[in-house]
C-alpha cells in the first residue's frame, strides 16, 4: 500500500478514557515506505445519545518512514462536547515495526507501540501495544489491530483495557473499494461487565486518487452502529491521507 497506514477507521485509538466516546478511527497496516512523509486528517462524529463524552473528534497526524521496516508518527487529537469549546485532548507518539511485509497474496505482520499524553482534564495518559495482522488474496484484504492498553499517571484506571479495530474490503474498480469495519473496547479486562464495553460495526467506502506518479490521496468513509451498552447510537468516519514526500524504493 502506498500510505504506511490504511485510512479507515482511523486512535486507533483516539479515546483513552472509559467510557470511550467520540474519537477518530485509525487502523494501522504493517506497511512502511522509507523516506515517505505523510499527513492524515481523521474525523469521527457520534450521532444520537452523546453519553457522557465528546460528540466529535478530529485527529491530525504526520508519519515518517525511517526505513522500509520502521515508521514513526506524531498526532494531536481535538474534541468537542455539546455546549463546550473545542479542546486539545491529547498528543500521541507512535511507531510501527514491519516483521513480515504486505504482499499481494498471503499474511503480513507488524507491531504497533504508542504513548498517549493527555493535555486536558478527563483524559488519561496511556501506553498501547499490539500486533498488526494483514491478509490479502487478489482484490480482497482483511486487516486486524488487537491492542492492549494501560493508563498511567494521575487518575490512572485499574487493570488493562483491550481494544480492537478490523477492516475487510474488496476492490471493485480502480481506486474504489467496498467493505466493512468494526471497532471495540473493553475496559479493565479482568473486571469488565457489559456496561464497560463499546462495540461498533458498519459499512465503509474507500477511495484512492493519483495526484502524480507514485503519489495517491486516500479517503475512507464509514457509518457504524453502536451495539454495546457503552456505545453511542451511531458513529460516522471521514478520513483523508495525503503523501507529502514520496518514499524511496
DSSP per-residue string spanning the chain: --SSS--S-----S--SSS--S-------S---TT-EEEEEEEEEEES--TTS-SEEEEEEEEEEEETTEEEEEEEEEEE-TTS--EEEEEEEEEEEEEE---SEEEEEEEEEEEEEE-STT--EEEEEEEEEEEEETTEEEEEEEEEEEEESTTPPSS-EEEEEEEEEEEEETTEEEEEEEEEEESSGGG--GGGEEEEEEEEEEEEEEEETTEEEEEEEEEEEE-STTS-SEEEEEEEEEEEE----
pLDDT band at 122; cut points 50, 70, 90: confident
Q: β-pairing, 197-212 with 215-226? A: antiparallel
- pLDDT of 54 over the 80 cut: no
- pLDDT of 7 over the 90 cut: no
Mean pLDDT of 49-66: 81
Which carries the bigger pLDDT value, residue 21 or residue 238?
A: 238
What pLDDT was estimated at residue 213?
81
Question: Which domains are assigned to the chain?
Answer: 37-245 (2.40.160.40)
Q: Is the dihedral of CA 187, 192, 198, 203 positive or negative?
A: positive
- pLDDT of 1 over the 90 cut: no
The position carrying cell 478514557 is 17
Distance CA 141, CA 132 (A): 13
- pLDDT of 189 over the 90 cut: no
- pLDDT of 25 over the 70 cut: yes
pLDDT band at 15; cut points 50, 70, 90: very low
Task: Specify the pTM.
Answer: 0.86
pLDDT band at 194; cut points 50, 70, 90: low
pLDDT band at 237; cut points 50, 70, 90: very high
Which carries the bigger pLDDT value, residue 211 or residue 133?
A: 133
Average model confidence (pLDDT) for the chain? 87
pLDDT band at 197; cut points 50, 70, 90: confident
- pLDDT of 211 over the 60 cut: yes
What pLDDT was estimated at residue 16?
39
Amino acid at each position: 500500500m502506498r500510505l504506511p497506514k490504511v485510512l479507515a477507521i482511523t486512535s486507533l485509538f483516539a479515546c483513552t478514557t472509559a467510557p470511550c466516546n467520540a474519537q477518530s478511527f485509525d487502523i494501522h497496516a504493517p506497511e512502511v515506505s522509507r523516506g515517505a512523509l505523510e499527513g492524515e486528517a481523521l474525523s469521527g462524529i457520534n450521532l444520537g445519545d452523546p453519553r457522557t463524552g465528546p460528540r466529535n473528534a478530529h485527529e491530525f497526524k504526520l508519519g515518517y518512514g525511517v526505513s522500509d521496516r520502521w515508521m514513526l508518527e506524531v498526532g494531536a487529537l481535538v474534541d468537542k462536547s455539546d455546549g463546550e469549546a473545542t479542546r486539545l485532548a491529547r498528543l500521541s507518539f507512535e511507531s510501527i515495526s514491519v516483521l513480515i511485509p504486505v504482499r499481494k497474496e498471503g499474511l503480513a505482520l507488524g507491531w504497533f507501540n504508542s504513548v498517549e499524553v493527555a493535555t486536558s482534564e478527563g483524559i488519561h495518559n496511556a501506553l498501547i501495544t499490539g500486533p498488526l495482522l494483514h491478509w490479502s488474496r487478489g482484490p480482497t484484504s482483511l486487516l486486524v489491530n488487537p491492542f492492549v492498553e494501560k493508563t498511567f499517571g494521575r487518575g490512572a484506571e485499574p487493570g488493562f483495557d483491550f481494544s480492537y479495530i478490523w477492516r475487510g474490503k474488496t476492490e471493485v474498480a480502480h481506486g474504489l473499494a467496498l467493505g466493512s469495519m468494526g471497532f471495540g473496547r473493553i475496559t479493565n479486562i479482568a473486571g469488565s461487565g457489559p456496561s464497560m464495553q463499546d462495540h461498533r460495526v458498519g459499512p465503509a467506502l474507500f477511495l484512492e486518487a493519483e495526484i502524480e506518479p507514485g503519489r495517491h490521496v486516500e479517503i475512507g468513509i464509514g457509518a457504524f452502529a453502536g451495539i454495546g451498552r457503552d456505545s453511542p447510537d451511531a458513529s460516522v468516519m471521514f478520513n483523508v491521507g495525503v503523501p507529502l514526500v514520496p518514499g524511496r524504493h
